[in-house]
């Protein structure tokens, strides 16, 4: 029986795509906007997940990436991405679900939550932060 290679990632800082038109200032609150997976500055909104603080000052154009110092080091594991209901980069910060013992899916129907999407890569798969018990 073939064993799956365990691939972990430890993040204290990470590059995120900065939302277009947003002025991110060093040391100020950075948050994921779950409507599109981009990073924006802290504001009154029901769609933001606080990440940490900006490590530099930049104005976003929707493509530019900005370094964020995370509140705490985050540990994630890479999983295969479902080809039928794939997880996309726009799902950053959203829930991801178990398809099988090595694959994650975006489809929640009839599936259990594995964790939160940290990154999506066409080669590595989906980086997921999981906690026990899953919340």
Question: 60 and 78, same structural domain?
Answer: no
Question: 63 and 20, same structural domain?
Answer: yes
- Closest alpha carbon to 24 in 54, 49, 48: 54
Task: Report, as an integer, the average pLDDT of 44-59.
Answer: 96
CA 122 to chain CA centroid, nearest Å: 14
Question: 113 and 95, same structural domain?
Answer: yes
Task: Report, as an integer, the average pLDDT of 42-68.
Answer: 96
Answering whether pTM is above 0.85, one says no
pLDDT at site 2: 57
Question: 102 and 61, same structural domain?
Answer: no
Q: Is the residue at 134 inside a domain?
A: no
CB atoms closer than 10 angstroms to residue 32: 24
Question: 82 and 67, same structural domain?
Answer: no
Q: Is the residue at 6 inside a domain?
A: no
For residues 104 and 78, give the distance between their C-alpha atoms in angstroms, rounded to a whole number. Answer: 10
The contacts of residue 3 (CB under 8 Å, 6+ apart) are: none
CB atoms closer than 10 angstroms to residue 120: 19
Task: Out of 39-43, 67-71, 72-76, pick the least confident.
Answer: 72-76
Task: Report, as an integer, the average pLDDT of 86-107.
Answer: 96
Q: Is the residue at 4 inside a domain?
A: no
Domain hosting 35: range is 13-71
Residue that has been written with the tokens 């800082």 in this structure: 13
Determine phi and psi for 80, rounding to 5 degrees.
Answer: -65, 150
Q: Is the residue at 5 inside a domain?
A: no
The number of folded domains in the chain is 2
pLDDT at site 18: 97
Q: What percent of the chain has pLDDT over 70?
A: 94
pLDDT at site 6: 59
Question: 63 and 81, same structural domain?
Answer: no
Task: Report, as an integer, the average pLDDT of 65-84.
Answer: 95
């Amino acid at each position: 029986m073939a064993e799956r290679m365990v691939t972990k990632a430890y993040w204290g800082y990470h590059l995120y795509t900065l939302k277009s038109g947003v002025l991110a200032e060093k040391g100020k609150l950075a948050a994921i906007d779950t409507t599109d997976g981009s990073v924006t500055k802290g504001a009154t909104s029901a769609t933001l997940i606080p990440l940490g603080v900006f490590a530099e000052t930049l104005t976003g154009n929707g493509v530019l990436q900005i370094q964020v110092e995370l509140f705490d080091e985050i540990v994630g594991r890479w999983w295969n991405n479902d080809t039928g209901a794939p997880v996309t980069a726009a799902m950053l910060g959203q829930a991801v679900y178990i398809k099988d013992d090595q694959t994650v899916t975006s489809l929640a129907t009839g599936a259990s939550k594995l964790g939160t999407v940290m990154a999506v890569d066409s080669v590595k798969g989906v980086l997921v932060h999981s906690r026990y018990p899953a919340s």
